[in-house]
């Protein structure tokens, strides 16, 4: 039984690509990605129109109320320290 050169080439490509694919999958499974811990977070913002925004920004354990326009950013008030979401719910008797 004679195999055509085209079939031999396809088999070689299939085998080679399969081998490369298997190795890439094994390599990708061993890669661990660590995300950088972000210290700055936008908690909430409210658009006031015409590119004006009021926002609550958290940095580490501090929160700030800011007002922003295209020309300025103004600190309106320093807020209480950030609280975990689970404890921020209002308790009712």
Task: Say if residue 73 is in the same domain as residue 50.
Answer: yes
- pLDDT > 70? residue 7: no
| Assigned domain for 4 exists | yes
Domain hosting residue 4, numbered range:
1-34
Task: Say if residue 24 is in the same domain as residue 60.
Answer: no
Judging by DSSP bridges, how do beta strands 52-59 and 62-68 pair with one another?
antiparallel
| Assigned domain for 92 exists | no
In 3D space, the residue among 79, 76, 27 whose CA is nearest the CA of residue 53 turns out to be: 76
| Assigned domain for 21 exists | yes
- What is the number of domains present in the chain? 2
Mean pLDDT of the chain: 80
pLDDT in tens, 24-48: 888 888 888 888 888 999 999 999 9
- pTM of the shown model: 0.52
């Amino acid at each position: 039984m004679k195999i055509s050169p085209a079939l031999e080439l396809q088999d070689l490509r299939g085998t080679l690509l399969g081998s490369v694919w298997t190795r890439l999958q094994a390599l990708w499974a061993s890669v661990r990605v660590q995300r950088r811990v972000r210290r700055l977070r936008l908690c909430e913002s409210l658009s006031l129109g015409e590119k004006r925004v009021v926002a609550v920004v958290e940095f580490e354990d501090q929160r700030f109320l800011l007002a922003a326009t295209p020309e300025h950013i103004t600190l309106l008030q320093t807020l209480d320290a950030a609280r975990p979401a689970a404890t921020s719910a209002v308790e009712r008797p």
